[in-house]
A and B are shown apart, each in its own frame.
Chain A
Amino acid sequence: MTAEPIAQLGRLATRFVLDLGRLTTFGSLVTGAAGTPPLRARRILDELYAVGVLSVPIIGASGLVVGLVLGLQGHNTLVRFGAEENLGAVVGLTLIRELGPVLTALLVTGRAGSAIAAEIGAMVVTEQLDGLRMMSIDPLDFVVKPKAVAMVLAMPLLAALFIVLGLAGGYLVGVVFVGGDGGIYLSSLESAVEFREDVVGSFIKAGVFGTLVALISTYRGFTSEPNAAGVSAATTSTVVVGSVAILVFNYFVTALWRF
């Protein structure tokens, strides 16, 4: 009786390790396909539109609102210490180092990652991937590669958009709404932000998150059970696993980059 929970834990651990192994193999196959001609530029552009351009409204609006909140909270806190001239630095560093790449990745996982998993899962159900195989066309190359490449390329650009609009939101609150000095806001931002340390680090984070979301969403869709429940499970697990992976990897990338 007492052995059953332990056995269950063992089964879960085994399943986790097996899944991780399969994900790694899948990742190496997709990487191999990405480095092999044909480039499939047209399909990558189509996917860039689906993943990137269609995410612009949600990323832009979220970035602006997050910037507004940061500006408000930052101003209220800094005023207590008579340090409101540092608002630009607080908003800038928070957005560039952490909130920009992390929130962008979480939003893109929910919007585009889940869509990728659902689309590939539906292709499994309707035998479209088998149809490609029977035409001697590798689905990894034809379907997965363009989606994965588009996700990796789009994520840093979307994170940059989020950050720029977030900075604008902070400026709106700090300068337009509460009457601070625009020059002080911008000079505080400029003097606090290091290009290599902060901006490059932010892009690297976004690139890593883009790779994670690309891998997890395509893998979950590709390996989904060929039925409606399978597609649903693939979509849900993309969002859950993707979000947790982003938060965990955020710690490691931050730690590695800062040392």
Chain B
Amino acid sequence: MEPSRVEQAGLRGAAAPDPVHIQVCDLHFSHGPRPVFRGVTCDFLRDRINVILGGSGAGKTTLLRMLGRLLRPDRGSIRVDGELELTALGRVQVHEFRRRVGMMFQGGALLDSMTVFDNAALPLREHTSLDEGAIRQRVEEVFESVGLEGVTELLPAELSGGMRKRAALARALVNSPEILLCDEPFSGLDPATVRLVEDLLVDVNERLGVTMIIASHHIASTFRMADRIVLLVEGTAVCGTPDEFRRNRDPRVQRFFAGELA
């Protein structure tokens, strides 16, 4: 496996522990009679790229949706900044929390009745008092930062898969969130576009310092970009840096990387 970008560049010292942004403790969750989580405990580092890995049906998207409070666990806690207990938030507090979060959905989740520009401008029109000129400037700035120009007046259905991912990323970033959740950003993309989206996410993380949590089953990308990996296996989580995973002798981890659980 290739060394991660942090290890390659020596950007971040291994000695200084990173502060925890989100702490997940003893999550239990079932889809009907099928248990998905049987005590998931893990944490996500502030301003870093955290990747949730796991086989199909391991609960990657489920965990991501719990971090956005789109789902509630049956039991367990999710703490943000050590104090905000996500599972106990009321309706208004959930709205406030989500103002701090951007989410890039697997299929983009762009509103198909609106142009790409209007999709990205929507959070600003809804939650800020910016005039149209300022909104246009901000949206164009974000489009430029994700390398998406000249397509803003198209409808989402007229975009290619890679462009739709970029548009979804632009919409997620337009409000300058402190946490960015990405659900399978590489699914359905060809290898060249995977590298493009991967570089884009790394670039966004480095420039904006946003806490990124990515649900993915793309192992090569994960080892290149992740600062922290949360591997979901058999209803529990194994956490560590890419390097720690390379040295990990846990049979569940080894089976996963050998492809037995994937």
Contacts and interface: CB of A to CB of B under 8 A. Distances in A.
Given A134-B98, A136-B95, A126 B126 contact: no
Given A135-B122, A135-B126, A130 B95 contact: no
**Which range holds the interface residue count of chain B?**
20 to 34
Contacts of B98: 133-136
A133 B111 CA distance: 12
A130 B70 contact: yes
Given A131-B109, A131-B111, A136 B103 contact: no
Contacts of B102: 134
Given A126-B112, A130-B70, A136 B107 contact: no
Contacts of A133: 70, 98
**Which range holds the interface residue count of chain A?**
10 to 19
A128 B95 contact: no
Contacts of B123: 135-137
A126 B168 CA distance: 13
Interface string B68-79: 101000000000
A123 B171 CA distance: 17
A126 B127 contact: no
A127 B68 CA distance: 13
A210 B122 CA distance: 30
Interface in A34-67: none
Contacts of A127: 105-107, 109
A137 B70 CA distance: 13
B157 to A, nearest CB: 11
A136 B69 CA distance: 11
Interface in B95-122: 95-96, 98-99, 101-103, 105-107, 109-112, 122
9 contacts: A126-B109, A128-B109, A128-B112, A130-B70, A131-B109, A133-B98, A134-B98, A134-B101, A135-B126
Interface of B: 65, 68, 70, 95-96, 98-99, 101-103, 105-107, 109-112, 122-123, 126-127, 171, 175, 181
Interface of A: 123, 126-128, 130-137
Given A128-B109, A135-B122, A135-B127, 20 more contacts: A126-B109, A127-B105, A127-B106, A127-B107, A128-B110, A130-B105, A131-B103, A132-B111, A133-B98, A134-B68, A134-B70, A134-B103, A134-B181, A135-B123, A135-B126, A136-B96, A136-B98, A137-B122, A137-B123, A137-B126
